[in-house]
Amino acid sequence: MATRKKARTAGRKKSSTSKARKKTASSSKARKKTRRYGATAQKKVESTMRERKRGTLRSGRSKKKVTSRAQAIAIGLSEARERGAKVPPPKRGKKKSRSRA
């Protein structure tokens, strides 16, 4: 197996791009990333997830029981926003075009 590999690569020329791809000092340093969500938001989502597991999490005006994991996270984030925690704005849904038939 190894001899086949050597035979295939023996006729090829080594490219000089491998030397050009060396990392520069600035690119090798890890960029400092800012956190999207604050610690308060994380705690609020954790507590809403626990409520969902217990079956005590209710939604909106109807006060129906929340069973969806995604909905529980959304409720936790919206409550964190109300409290002023560091949370990015909610994603806006695309408008649905209705076709009249």
- Within a domain: 87: no
Whether residue 65 has pLDDT greater than 70: yes
Give the residue among 62, 63, 60 at the shortest CA–CA distance from 78.
60
Q: How far are the Cα atoms of 27, 55, 91, 97 from residue 94, in angstroms, in the given order? A: 37, 31, 9, 9
- Within a domain: 50: yes
Q: Specify the pairing of strand 58-59 against strand 64-65.
A: antiparallel
Q: What is the residue range of 60's domain?
A: 39-82
- Within a domain: 92: no
Q: What is the mean pLDDT of residues 47-63?
A: 94
Q: What is the mean pLDDT of residues 5-17?
A: 61
Domain count of the chain?
1
Whether residue 80 has pLDDT greater than 70: yes
- Within a domain: 75: yes
- Within a domain: 64: yes
